[in-house]
Amino acid sequence: MDRNSDAIREELLRLRQQTEAQVTALDGDLRSLFEASRASNADDEHDPEGATIAFERAQLTAVLDAARRRLAELDVALRRVDDGSYGVCERCLRPIPAERLVARPSARTCVACASRR
């Protein structure tokens, strides 16, 4: 592995660690929300003060799912660094522009191929 690959790997590991911490925190928040809703018999469906517990639970679940997907994508990116295919489009086999990889480090396709989906 060359220096550039080492730097990419380190950045992906840093992003993975951040995302893993986010998943852990969100999972804890969701568990707390479930526990709080079980302990309460409030009729939040008709509460004019704000969002319902069901809405908050759905929103938190969606954010947690997205973070878990991002974690899985980072794992794939790390495997691609290890096998030498990181930065190469899976569809057309051309290099993925550096700007795209900066914006989306787990990108597996170039912009042109991604836009054809």
Distance CA 44, CA 13 (A): 41
Longest dimension (CA), the chain: 60
Task: Give 41-90 pLDDT, tens digit per residue.
Answer: 555 555 555 567 788 889 999 999 999 999 999 999 999 999 999 999 99
Nearest residue to 62 (alpha-carbon basis) of 30, 31, 33, 37: 30
Task: Give 32-50 pLDDT, tens digit per residue.
Answer: 988 877 766 555 555 555 5
Distance CA 110, CA 90 (A): 8
- Per-residue pLDDT band at 3 (split at 50, 70, 90): confident
Distance CA 110, CA 92 (A): 8
What is the structure's pLDDT at 33?
Answer: 86
Give me the mean pLDDT over the 92-102 stretch: 95
What is the structure's pLDDT at 42?
Answer: 56
What is the structure's pLDDT at 1?
Answer: 55
What is the structure's pLDDT at 47?
Answer: 55
What is the structure's pLDDT at 39?
Answer: 66
**Cα 20 to chain centroid, rounded:** 9
Domains and CATH numbers, the chain: 3-86 (1.20.120.910), 87-116 (no CATH)
> SS in 3 state form for 27-43?
HHHHHHHHHHHHHCCCC
